């Protein structure tokens, strides 16, 4: 069946929904609040996939996903975000950039031998890298003096209200995937995997799609749900769940 021999390359576009949350962790030592919800509608998500069939219906797949969003909110309390403290009532701009890279070994678990069956159950043995870059600013607060020059802070440096930082981790993930080849030209796909270490990180993702084959090409459409939480033992952490409607296009060598 398609994808069970040769190699393939795929690209995908998506329009994620969801609002990740920034908050202080156990190592922050901060008494005031650090909880902030990232604003704005996520930009068009971009994905890529490269697969290599290994025979016996197994495969190695390398895939990646990226999305970002930016927006504003007005603080209803004093907030400390990274190295900046913002007073109550300040307009705060937020932005984040989420990147995910996944290496997956897809192992045929049932049925074996496949013979003429169209159903596949595979176990997924994976390693995932996740990086979340975040930033905050107070664009309406003054950074210049009445004379037009930059405001100088207590340290002798120009005043800035920007704050930025990132959180990342590498995690194994375990899961399962099922495929139903309705015909050689129509394939249903459902995958799910995840992993968690309490008080550290959590990651899980699942996706479902229907795919239509045209010669060497396959057009797919479906939905993906992706959840991530970085370590809560750090001074700050990020958590959130994105729902990702997406379309994909794959090219198969065979």
Report yes or no on 97 lying in a domain: yes
Report yes or no on 145 lying in a domain: no
Q: What's the confidence (pLDDT) of residue 116?
A: 85
Q: What's the confidence (pLDDT) of residue 56?
A: 85
What are the pLDDT digits (tens) for 137-184?
999 998 877 777 777 777 777 888 999 999 999 999 999 999 999 998
The answer to whether 40 and 77 have CB atoms below 8 angstroms apart is no
pTM of the model: 0.92
Collect the ranges in the chain with pLDDT lower than 70.
Answer: 2
Report yes or no on 174 lying in a domain: yes
Report yes or no on 149 lying in a domain: no
Report the half-sphere exposure of 248 (CA within 13 A, side-chain side): 31
Report yes or no on 230 lying in a domain: yes
CATH number reported for the structural domain that contains residue 37 in this entry? 2.40.128
Report yes or no on 155 lying in a domain: no
| 126 alpha carbon, distance to own chain's centre | 15
146 dihedral zone (left: phi>0; alpha: psi -120 to 50; beta): alpha
CA–CA separation, 253 and 14 (whole Å): 25
Report yes or no on 187 lying in a domain: yes
What's the domain count of the chain?
Answer: 1
Of 71, 67, 70, 73, nearest to 97 by C-alpha is 67
Report yes or no on 52 lying in a domain: yes
Of 237, 227, 242, 224, nearest to 173 by C-alpha is 227
CA–CA separation, 238 and 252 (whole Å): 37
Domain residues for the domain of 83 are: 7-140+161-252
């Amino acid at each position: 069946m398609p994808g069970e021999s040769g190699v393939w390359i795929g690209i995908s576009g998506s329009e994620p929904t969801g609002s990740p949350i920034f908050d202080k962790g156990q190592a922050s030592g901060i008494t005031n609040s650090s909880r902030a919800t990232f604003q704005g509608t996520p930009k068009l998500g971009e994905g890529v996939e490269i697969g290599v069939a290994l025979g016996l219906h197994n495969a190695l797949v390398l895939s990646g996903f990226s999305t970002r969003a930016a927006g504003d909110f007005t603080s209803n309390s004093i907030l400390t975000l990274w190295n900046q403290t913002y007073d109550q009532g300040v307009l705060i701009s937020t932005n984040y950039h989420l990147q995910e890279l996944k290496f997956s070994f897809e192992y045929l678990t049932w049925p074996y031998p496949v013979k003429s069956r169209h159903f596949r159950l595979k176990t997924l043995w994976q390693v995932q890298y996740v990086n979340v870059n975040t930033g905050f600013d107070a664009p309406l607060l003054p950074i210049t003096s009445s004379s037009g020059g930059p405001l100088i802070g207590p340290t002798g440096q120009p005043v800035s209200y920007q704050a930025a930082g990132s959180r990342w981790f590498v995690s194994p993930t375990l899961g399962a995937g099922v495929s139903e080849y309705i015909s050689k030209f129509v394939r249903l796909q459902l995958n799910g995997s995840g992993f968690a270490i309490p008080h550290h990180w959590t990651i899980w993702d699942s996706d479902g799609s229907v795919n239509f084959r045209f010669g060497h090409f396959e057009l797919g459409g479906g939905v993906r749900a992706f959840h991530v939480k970085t370590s809560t033992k750090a001074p700050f952490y990020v958590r959130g769940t994105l729902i990702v409607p997406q379309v994909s296009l794959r090219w198969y060598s065979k």
